[in-house]
């Protein structure tokens, strides 16, 4: 019985986390609609060669197994909902 409760609590916590991410994304979309500037309609994703992850203008980090956001058909930021603009800086040699 205790195991069932733990399992239910775990599943509910996972669903809550998903709902919170979706809520954050919707809030970002609403904010982008209300604001009247180019930066309000896009979120720059910059590739970090050291971490092999994408760092976003909205202060999040995202990783793909392979490829870029465009290659993975990611048009809108998963976090703030704005349109993704890719930036891949030259890899520093050092």
In a domain, 37, yes or no: yes
Calpha distance 66→3 (Å, rounded): 38
Per-residue pLDDT of the chain (94 residues; tens, 9 = 90+): 667 888 898 899 999 888 888 888 888 777 666 655 555 689 999 999 999 999 999 999 999 999 999 999 999 999 999 999 999 988 755 4
* Separation in Å, CA 49 to CA 17, 25, 45, 64: 29, 26, 13, 13
In a domain, 93, yes or no: no
Strand runs (DSSP E) across 6-78, as ranges? 42-48, 53-56, 61-62
In a domain, 14, yes or no: yes
In a domain, 57, yes or no: yes
Return the DSSP state at 76: B
């Amino acid at each position: 019985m205790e195991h069932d409760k733990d399992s239910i609590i775990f599943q509910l916590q996972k669903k809550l986390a998903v709902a919170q991410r979706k809520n954050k994304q919707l809030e970002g979309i609403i904010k982008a609609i209300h604001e009247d500037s180019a930066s309000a309609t896009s979120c720059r994703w910059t590739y970090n060669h050291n971490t092999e992850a994408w760092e976003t203008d909205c202060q999040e980090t995202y990783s793909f197994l392979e490829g870029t956001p465009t290659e993975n058909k990611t048009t809108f930021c998963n976090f703030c909902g704005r349109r993704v603009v890719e930036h891949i800086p030259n890899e520093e040699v050092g």
